[in-house]
Amino acid sequence: MNITADTIWSAVRTVREKAPVVHSITNYVVMNSTANALLALGASPVMAHAEEEMEEMVGIASALVINIGTLSPAWVRAMFRAAEAARKRRIPIVLDPVGAGATSYRTRTARELIKAVPPDIIRGNASEIMALLDSNAKTKGVDSSASSDAAVDLGRALHAECGAAVCISGETDYTIGRTGGIRGRNGHIMMTRVTGLGCTASALCGAFAAVTPDPAVAAAEAMAVMGIAGEIAVSGSAGPGSLQVYFLDALYRLSAEDIERLLKLEVEE
């Protein structure tokens, strides 16, 4: 896979130049924060969930992000409808199976979405990724009860089953694609104290997928940028509250020099 500090910066510049519309069907908890992160990066967020407008909204989007954090029957119908419209238009689909493994409803919903309209990228924490294939895997609410290392084998199996690039976030971020894998080690433990940063990573996957043809590379770009911005933000913040503000500023001000200086990435062929 071709991913370096230079190619990541090129993707950031393309997002800023093209401002791709990222349609996010996401949860109530994170709508504001993920929309602001997309704007800070340079993308254009749309946060729509009404079933009646899915085809039209997908029609103006460059990527679709489906996040199952706060499910209801109407939202689930909208997710399927949007995914079908996105597949017809051949725009990338990102699925965040938030809390898969916590309840049978959300686990079943995520599995049915993958089966009906296989996404281009599936991004989740270790427990969520494991729950998509292993009925015994459980999450701690929406938080992971396993390390990302423990989910790699099931991540590979999930990729083989549905064809999606699989991104497993954690202390080490793993991205598994058709031409190999990528390990990223950017980020900071304080980021786990801010709600919605995992969901933000999925939203950014949508922005990068809109400009990067290889879904695995797009996901790895998003995780690298997330982690680098998080590290920069932590260096100037006093705790989780100010981290949220500094994180948006770091995304907005991110430079080629920042990426070159801080990137921690390993590519496996």
Q: Specify whether the CB–CB gap between 109 and 76 falls below 8 A.
A: yes
pLDDT of residue 146: 61
Other CB atoms within 10 A of residue 115 CB: 10
**How many helices, marked H, and strands, marked E, lie in the chain?**
11, 9
Which of the 8 DSSP states describes residue 150? G
pLDDT of residue 85: 97
Q: Specify whether the CB–CB gap between 168 and 201 falls below 8 A.
A: no
pLDDT tens for the chain, 269 residues long, are: 789 999 999 999 999 999 999 999 999 999 999 999 999 999 999 999 999 999 999 999 999 999 999 999 999 999 999 999 999 999 999 999 999 999 999 999 999 999 999 999 999 999 999 999 976 655 554 444 467 888 899 999 999 999 999 999 999 999 999 988 999 999 999 999 999 999 999 999 999 999 999 999 999 999 999 999 999 999 999 999 999 999 999 999 999 999 999 999 999 86
Structural domain boundaries, residue 176:
5-268
Residues 163, 206: Cα–Cα separation, whole Å: 17
pLDDT of residue 201: 97
Give the CATH number for residue 82: 3.40.1190.20
Residues 16, 86: Cα–Cα separation, whole Å: 23
Query: Helix, strand or coil for residue 140?
Result: strand
pLDDT of residue 142: 47
pLDDT of residue 136: 65
Q: What angle do CA 163, 165, 167 make, to 5 degrees?
A: 140
**To which H or E segment does residue 237 belong?**
none
What residues contact 136, with CB distance under 8 A and at least 6 apart? none
Q: Specify whether the CB–CB gap between 227 and 173 falls below 8 A.
A: yes
Burial (Cβ within 10 Å: 0-12, 13-18, ≥19) of residue 135: exposed
Half-sphere exposure (Cβ direction) of 212: Cα atoms closer than 13 Å:
29
At 207-225, the pLDDT tens digits run 999 999 999 999 999 999 9
pLDDT of residue 1: 75
Sole residue written with tokens 């190619």 = 7
Residues 244, 263: Cα–Cα separation, whole Å: 21
**To which H or E segment does residue 96 belong?**
strand 93-96
Other CB atoms within 10 A of residue 189 CB: 9
pLDDT of residue 151: 86
Domain count, the chain: 1
